[in-house]
Chains A and B, each alone.
Chain A
Amino acid sequence: MSIAGLFAQLLAVALALALAPLLTGWVNQWRAWLQGRRAPGLLQPYRVLHKLFNKESVVAEHATPLFRVAPYIMFGCMALACGIAPTLSTDLPLAPAADAIALVGLFALARVFISLAAMDIGTSFGTLGARREMLIGFLAEPALLMVLFSASLITRSTSLANIVETLAHQPFAIYPSLAVAGVAFTMVSLAENARVPVDNPATHLELTMIHEALILEYSGRHLALVEWAASLKLFAYSCIGLALFVPWGVAEAGTPLAIVFAIPMLVVKLAVGGVLLALIETINAKMRLFRVPEFLATAFLLAVIALLVHVLLGA
């Protein structure tokens, strides 16, 4: 572990915590523009967080401690996820603590806790949200794992930092397996981050809501933490996607100055990615809940095909 590595690590987590709401705001702004609405300000998510933190938390009478602990655990999991995703540098002291498989486990841990918390109050919406969230989770998780496996097989490592380092050093070539995996990853990310066409983050309509039903009972600081964790999740997913499929511009060990260039590079990549996300959300309609398994099964199959393509072609 080097001083530069430690610095890069702290910087990466701090940057993620600070920028994640901004990314959400950026996507929301573009979505509004693309849909011909007047957009809220770029800093709106920060204002919302500030407002929620100031409000008192209202908790159901019979809620157990699990309900109150869950947002913090979700937040902690997402903070670690942002810590191990190679956003700025691949020289991360935390990277050996959790590889790609553990990262998937980390997301699953957060999902299980928030679903259990939703079931804790025992309202019709909470359990409905938990059921739907777990449904999406169990379909998306293996697909995500398969995408990461394809990358791991190419680079012969499951450590995210090593995957990115190896991919960035390969001579530029289009890997058919990575191309297929990229499509699968995009589909999984949409589902996991409660985006159109799987879920609509802007609705409270009972027939369609998934993520919102899950967190319906939260208020005040708990809700703020959940929202912040959700934007951290989007940030982590975006960073992982960028690291896997556009791995250039990430700093490596022994080049402390490269971080200075890595930051604007990351911001540019995220900005472009955010616009693309808003575009996807605008040109797609939300699908019925029971089309979601088909959507995610397609992602899973694509990811498996990516794996097979790699094994067959060796690329």
Chain B
Amino acid sequence: MLVLDWILIVVAGWFALGFAGIAALRNTAFVARVLFPAGALLAAALAGFAAAALPGSPETAVLALGLPGLPFHLRLDGLSAFFLLVIGVAAFGISVFAAGYFRHGEGTPPGLMCLEYHIFLASMALVVLADDAYAFMVMWETMALSSFFLVTANHRVPAIREAGFLYLLIAHIGAIAILLCFGVLQANTGDYTFANMRAQSLSPLWGSAAFLLATLGFGAKAGILPLHVWLPEAHPAAPSPVSALMSAVMLKTAIYGLLRVSFDLLGAQQWWWGVLLMAVGLATALYGVVFSAVQTDMKRLLAYSSIENIGLLFVGIGLGVLFNAYGMKALSALALTAALYHVVAHALFKSLLFLATGSVLHSTGERSLGKLGGLMRRMPWVAWLSLVGVLASSGLPPFSGFVSEWLLLQSFLFTTGLPDSFLNMFVPVLAAGIALVAALAGYTMVKFYGVIFLGQPREPKLAHAHPSSPLERAGLVWLGAGCVLLGLFPAQLIDLIDRVTQLLVGGGIADTVRANGWLLLAPSSPDRASYSPLVFLLVVSVAVLLAVVLVRKLYHGRLRRAPAWDCGYPAQTPRMQDTAEGFGQPIRQIFEPFFRMRRELPSPFDAKPRYSVTIEDHFWHWLYLPVAGLTSRIARGIGRLQQGRIAIYLLYSFVTLMVLLLVVVKA
């Protein structure tokens, strides 16, 4: 049996679990204790099969589903297998967590939730397997629709319905662009299989048109500027496991699509495609991280942080395209390795953080950062595991986020050698932007972690926050372990990524990395650049242990607990800590032009002083509201035709007839 068949069995299993959920519509215990764990096991199996398929040769299958004469073509190659691996690994942790999470009655009955969740998973797996435009679009739309229903699980809240609508709208703008892109790619042959598209050699003009449509379409799903507005609305609206799944996995299917079209189908020919991706990516990353730093809702903060990470991925892919267009295969492979590494790293740390916010939300009922605090003492498991996620997300050694950041910066440093002197100048400046984004991400994550888990509880009710359930912890432990292992053993994952870069650009860095020894990560020669997370961790740990032992041996280990010092101020209250707004204040001030800000400051004489600040996205007012206004104006204009009187409608028919007759007579 082919590996592809096993994977299809897993996918069919997910569908079956979904429909089993319908059978047990309101039986929460059955859904949570049986169906979700079973889904998690299937996800683990998927990850295993995908890892097994990565080194193998491509496998294809034709499913007799779909329309007559238009069957689904499926193909499992290195790129699909890699993304299936990401789906499997992340979905396992998220499903285990979800088994412990969906214990209360949410808006949608648990059985229905189970159906939507598993169809969502199955459709994502099929998207990366699809080998013709028809199957791809059907699965892409299934993915969009199932996730739409998941986002609106709590549909009695108007804000959540609005968020869902916005998501659906932008998802469809993207889908139309992707459809048009496939239309261009098939080059009038009428054959919509990817094999045919690969065989076509488009003129530079049509190739660029296809590339631009793909960037627009997949960019809308990934949340790049200016199509990012749905992300901070939809992610907080969804239940936490769904936010995790959307952010960690669904956004990555857009990255998959971009890689598939621009490298596999189009061959990444034009250098300016790369520059465009890098410029858009950097703008997105900077925009995302700056907005993330001023958020006061923990899930919105993470959603903006996802936008930032997607931007970084676009930069990596863009650099890969640029090098590839100039025939620099090894460098292209390095940049793509950085991007693909970040795909996995982001999938793990972001789902970990989203799930952690879910635990916090369940145990406190609060999403607003201003009403949290001090949860490390009430929920130590969630807090310590989130710390791992936060450190990985800030790109700090020796965790997973640092490896991809390091690889990305390395690929920037190798650029001098491009045939174009302007590009030689432009590219290092982008590296400066990446450095700024990475440093700001650290700021944001300290705010996120410090305000939720550290300090003193800002509300009295937080004293009763209950710890997370064992299954929730298990899911978090899986993801946290992933962040640590990816940080410590980068060479192993690079080995897997190598198959993908071999497929996309015909080069890879795994051989060099392997030749330099398992301890050292060195993408070219160790003289040029090297990093060894294990030695790093070992030396810091040894220094810490020596310090602990020596201090105790030479001096003493006495410790006394006392009230906090705070410069001797006795009347301190938890309200005197920085709020989320306070912590974001320097960013608001420095990056003021980024925001559309409304501020209400109290005067010293107010009896009831009120302070409020609202921050809006410029793009709403620059792009979305004008377009919406124009649409409704046009609709009103057309609406005038509708008069509701038979005589008028007869007149329309008569005039139309006359005009048509005139045309016919003239012709």
Interface flags for B448-468 (1: CB within 8 Å of A; 0: not) read: 011100111000000000000
B439 and A59 form a contact (CB under 8 A): no
B562 and A58 form a contact (CB under 8 A): yes
Q: In the complex, which residue of chain B has the Cβ closest to the Cβ of A67? A: B454
| Cβ distance B303 to chain A, nearest Cβ, rounded Å | 20
A59 and B565 form a contact (CB under 8 A): no
In the complex, whether B413 has a CB less than 8 A from a CB of chain A is: yes
14 A-B pairs in the complex with CB atoms less than 8 angstroms apart: A58-B562, A60-B563, A64-B376, A73-B544, A75-B543, A99-B531, A112-B446, A119-B577, A123-B564, A127-B578, A139-B439, A152-B413, A300-B432, A300-B436
- Report Cα–Cα, A145/B439, bound state, in Å: 10
Task: Count A-B pairs with CB separation below 8 Å.
Answer: 263
In the complex, whether A122 has a CB less than 8 A from a CB of chain B is: yes
Contact pick for A109, options B397, B428, B429, B450, CB 8 Å: B397
A106 and B397 form a contact (CB under 8 A): yes
Q: Which of B163-171, B253-261, B550-558, B602-610 contacts A (4 or more CB under 8 A)?
A: B550-558
A158 and B410 form a contact (CB under 8 A): yes
Known: A115-B446, A158-B410. A217 touches B565 (CB 8 A): yes
Contact pick for A127, options B450, B520, B589, CB 8 Å: B450
Q: Which residues of A contact B374 (CB under 8 A)?
A: 62, 122
In the complex, whether B530 has a CB less than 8 A from a CB of chain A is: yes
Contact pick for A145, options B391, B435, B565, B576, CB 8 Å: B435
The DSSP consensus for interface residues of chain A is helix
Q: Which residues of A contact B567 (CB under 8 A)?
A: 125, 204, 206, 216
Q: Which residues of B contact A112 (CB under 8 A)?
A: 391, 394, 396, 442, 445-446
Within 8 A of A (CB), among B117-141: none
Interface flags for A83-121 (1: CB within 8 Å of B; 0: not) read: 100000000001011110110011011011001100111
In the complex, whether A31 has a CB less than 8 A from a CB of chain B is: no
In the complex, whether B600 has a CB less than 8 A from a CB of chain A is: no
Interface flags for A118-139 (1: CB within 8 Å of B; 0: not) read: 0111111111101110110111
In the complex, whether A211 has a CB less than 8 A from a CB of chain B is: no
| Cβ distance B595 to chain A, nearest Cβ, rounded Å | 16
Q: Which residues of B contact A54 (CB under 8 A)?
A: 555-556
Q: In the complex, which residue of chain A has the Cβ closest to the Cβ of B530? A: A96
Place the interface of chain B in its size category. Answer: 35 or more
A135 and B456 form a contact (CB under 8 A): no
Q: In the complex, which residue of chain B has the Cβ closest to the Cβ of A139? A: B439
In the complex, whether A172 has a CB less than 8 A from a CB of chain B is: no
B551 and A158 form a contact (CB under 8 A): no
B456 and A62 form a contact (CB under 8 A): yes
B532 and A158 form a contact (CB under 8 A): no
Q: Which residues of B contact A120 (CB under 8 A)?
A: 376, 450, 454-455
Q: Which residues of A contact B559 (CB under 8 A)?
A: 56-59
Q: Which residues of B contact A115 (CB under 8 A)?
A: 446, 450
- Report Cα–Cα, A73/B443, bound state, in Å: 19
Report which residue of A54, A119, A204, A311 has the largest number of chain B beta carbons within 10 angstroms of its beta carbon: A119
- Report Cα–Cα, A216/B563, bound state, in Å: 13
Known: A98-B397, A99-B531, A130-B450. A138 touches B520 (CB 8 A): no
In the complex, whether A288 has a CB less than 8 A from a CB of chain B is: no
- Report Cα–Cα, A135/B293, bound state, in Å: 11
A153 and B532 form a contact (CB under 8 A): no
A162 and B578 form a contact (CB under 8 A): no
> Contacts A112-B445, A217-B565 given; 9 further ones with Cβ under 8 A?
A75-B544, A80-B543, A97-B520, A98-B532, A116-B450, A122-B574, A138-B442, A219-B565, A293-B586
Known: A59-B562, A108-B439, A225-B547. A311 touches B577 (CB 8 A): no
Q: Which residues of A contact B572 (CB under 8 A)?
A: 123-124
Known: A98-B397, A153-B428. A124 touches B577 (CB 8 A): yes
Q: Which residues of B contact A137 (CB under 8 A)?
A: 439, 442-443
A64 and B454 form a contact (CB under 8 A): yes
- Report Cα–Cα, A122/B531, bound state, in Å: 36
- Report Cα–Cα, A79/B446, bound state, in Å: 23
A80 and B536 form a contact (CB under 8 A): yes
Q: Which residues of B contact A175 (CB under 8 A)?
A: none
Contact pick for B536, options A97, A220, A304, CB 8 Å: A97
A308 and B543 form a contact (CB under 8 A): no
A72 and B544 form a contact (CB under 8 A): yes
Q: Which residues of B contact A251 (CB under 8 A)?
A: none
Known: A105-B397, A141-B439. A131 touches B582 (CB 8 A): yes
In the complex, whether A76 has a CB less than 8 A from a CB of chain B is: yes
Per CB-CB distance, the 5 closest pairs between chain A and chain B, nearest first, are A122-B455, A142-B435, A119-B450, A122-B456, A127-B578
- Report Cα–Cα, A265/B569, bound state, in Å: 49
- Report Cα–Cα, A83/B416, bound state, in Å: 30
In the complex, whether B548 has a CB less than 8 A from a CB of chain A is: yes
Contact pick for B530, options A60, A99, A109, CB 8 Å: A99
In the complex, whether A191 has a CB less than 8 A from a CB of chain B is: no
Q: In the complex, which residue of chain B has the Cβ closest to the Cβ of A93? A: B535
| Cβ distance B233 to chain A, nearest Cβ, rounded Å | 27
- Report Cα–Cα, A156/B528, bound state, in Å: 7
In the complex, whether A287 has a CB less than 8 A from a CB of chain B is: no
- Report Cα–Cα, A43/B368, bound state, in Å: 50
A131 and B578 form a contact (CB under 8 A): yes
In the complex, whether B406 has a CB less than 8 A from a CB of chain A is: yes
| Cβ distance A312 to chain B, nearest Cβ, rounded Å | 7
- Report Cα–Cα, A121/B551, bound state, in Å: 24
